[in-house]
């Protein structure tokens, strides 16, 4: 009979994390699922094809996790992530880790919400924290296409005046043979659409939104432009 191994069973969540999970589950019940303790290497993919760069990048995330990831209940696509910040997040080494993770999530376009750890949470305040990113994402996804997209020309009335001799029109300069650069989704590879937010604090800002949003992909990120007044 093999000798016993030095392990024992323990729950995945601390009492404080479980209390937060219960309240968050009640607030987001129905359309969203909350996944706890998600390892970053299971959530994110390294894009480099260079073996050395790939391994270095993978090592940076393979032992890091976020406290919770909120996913669409039907597709299980990540919608946003949550970090519970307790006193340990005030340490310099922890702040360095947090800055890296914040930059990482900004790079892949997945919102990361920081919520300060508390022994008890106000249901109203917690609901505001958890629903705010969903309302922001909806304001980006449910918008009309950008007005910069080409439109069909309006038909012109027929000319009935007598024809007269005119000089040949100048030959127009040749159009560039280079097609406009297409922005592809970094999550699924589908084309991105540039749309402008019509409500909220980012009203008028343009965003690139995946054409598969929200059915199979939740990727979006700022385009760095604003609607001209």
Do 196 and 100 share a domain, yes or no? no
The reply to whether 37 and 110 lie within a common domain is: yes
Residues 115 and 25 placed together within one structural domain of the fold: yes
Distance CA 122, CA 19 (A): 12
Does residue 165 fall inside a structural domain? no
Q: Are 111 and 105 in contact (CB under 8 A)?
A: yes
Question: Do residues 114 and 207 share a domain?
Answer: no
**pLDDT tier, 186 (very low <50, low <70, confident <90, very high otherwise):** low
Q: Taking Cα atoms as reference points, which of 78, 61, 74 lies closest to residue 113?
A: 78
Mean residue pLDDT of the chain comes to 79
Domain finish residue from 117, 141, 165: 141
Q: Check: pTM over 0.75? Answer yes or no.
A: no
pLDDT attached to residue 196: 78
185, burial (CB in 10 Å: exposed 0-12, middle 13-18, buried 19+): buried
pLDDT confidence bin for 180, thresholds 50/70/90:
low
Which DSSP string corresponds to 11-40? -SS-HHHHHHHHHHHHHHTTTEEEEEEEEH
Share of the chain above pLDDT 70, in %: 73
Read off the pLDDT band of 148 (50, 70, 90): very low
109 part of a folded domain: yes
Residue 113 lies in a domain: yes
The pLDDT of residue 184 is 79
**Residues 29, 99 within the same domain:** yes
Regarding whether 198 and 93 lie in a shared domain, the answer is: no
Task: Indicate whether 27 belongs to any domain.
Answer: yes
Number of domains comprising the chain: 2
Per mean pLDDT, which range of 31-40, 124-133, 156-165, 209-218 is the poorest?
Answer: 156-165
Would you say residue 173 lies in a domain? no
The domain in which residue 202 lies consists of 192-226
Residue at 147 is within a domain: no
Q: Is 103 within the bounds of a domain?
A: yes
In a 10 Å sphere around its CB, with 0-12 CB exposed, 13-18 middle and 19+ buried, how is residue 108 labelled?
A: middle
The answer, yes or no, to whether residue 110 has pLDDT greater than 90, is yes
| 180 is a domain residue | no
Q: Looking at the structure, do residues 199 and 129 belong to the same domain, yes or no?
A: no
pLDDT reported for residue 41: 96
């Amino acid at each position: 009979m093999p000798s016993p191994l030095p392990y024992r069973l323990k729950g995945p969540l601390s009492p404080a994390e479980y209390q937060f999970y219960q309240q968050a589950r009640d607030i987001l019940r129905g359309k969203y699922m909350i996944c706890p303790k998600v390892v970053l290497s299971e959530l994110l993919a390294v894009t480099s094809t260079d073996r050395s760069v790939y391994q270095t990048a993978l090592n940076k995330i393979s032992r890091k996790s976020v406290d919770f990831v909120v996913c669409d209940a039907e597709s299980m696509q990540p919608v946003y992530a949550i970090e519970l910040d307790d006193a340990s997040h005030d340490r310099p080494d922890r702040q360095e880790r947090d800055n890296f993770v914040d930059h990482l999530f900004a790079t892949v376009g997945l919102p990361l919400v920081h919520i300060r750890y508390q022994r008890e949470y106000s249901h109203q305040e917690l609901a505001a924290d958890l629903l705010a990113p969903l309302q922001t994402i909806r304001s980006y996804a449910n918008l009309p296409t950008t007005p910069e997209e080409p439109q069909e020309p309006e038909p012109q009335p027929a000319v009935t005046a007598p024809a007269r001799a005119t000089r040949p029109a100048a030959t127009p300069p040749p159009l560039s043979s280079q097609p406009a650069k297409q922005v592809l989704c970094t999550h699924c590879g589908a084309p991105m659409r540039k749309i402008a937010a019509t409500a909220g604090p980012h009203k008028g800002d343009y965003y690139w939104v995946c054409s598969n949003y929200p059915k199979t992909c939740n990727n979006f990120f700022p385009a760095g432009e604003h609607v001209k007044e």
